Structure 1
Amino acid sequence: MQKVYLLYHIRDKGAEDEDTKDIGTYSSYELAEAAKNRIKDKPGFIDHPNGFYIDEYIIDKDYWADGFHD
């Protein structure tokens, strides 16, 4: 089972408004964390240090297979 790690950043702009940036996809959690450390002091990111997230995904697996409801 092969996994990848998606690093992204969410800036909460209030009132159900978010600005999401996909930063990169990495072959290990450690590489995703290293990427976060490289950019966390860059403009925009430095002002929102708690907006970083790393999610693990299994390759060739369906996500949201049952759909979603608003």
Structure 2
Amino acid sequence: MLRTSDISQYDQKKREYEAILLLEDKDILMSRPLQFGVCNAGQTVYFLIDWIDGEDAQEAIPSLDGLL
């Protein structure tokens, strides 16, 4: 999956990518990081992660509130 953002989001997206890198060797079912960089003549930041089937954690976690 390719995620792109405006270059103004560079620092935030780099931190997100680095957080994924830190979790890569854990036994967690999640997308794996593949590449991070700048494109579009320096106007866009991107990161590439592999695709896995499942639910987005931001959407799934709130529904677990009653189960915990």
Q: Shorter-chain TM-score: what band?
A: 0.3 to 0.5
User: Whose helix fraction is larger, Structure 1's or Structure 2's?
Assistant: 2
Please give the TM-score of this superposition, normalised by the length of structure 1: 0.31
- Structure with the bigger RCO (C-alpha within 8 Å, sep 6+) is 1
Please give the TM-score of this superposition, normalised by the length of structure 2: 0.32
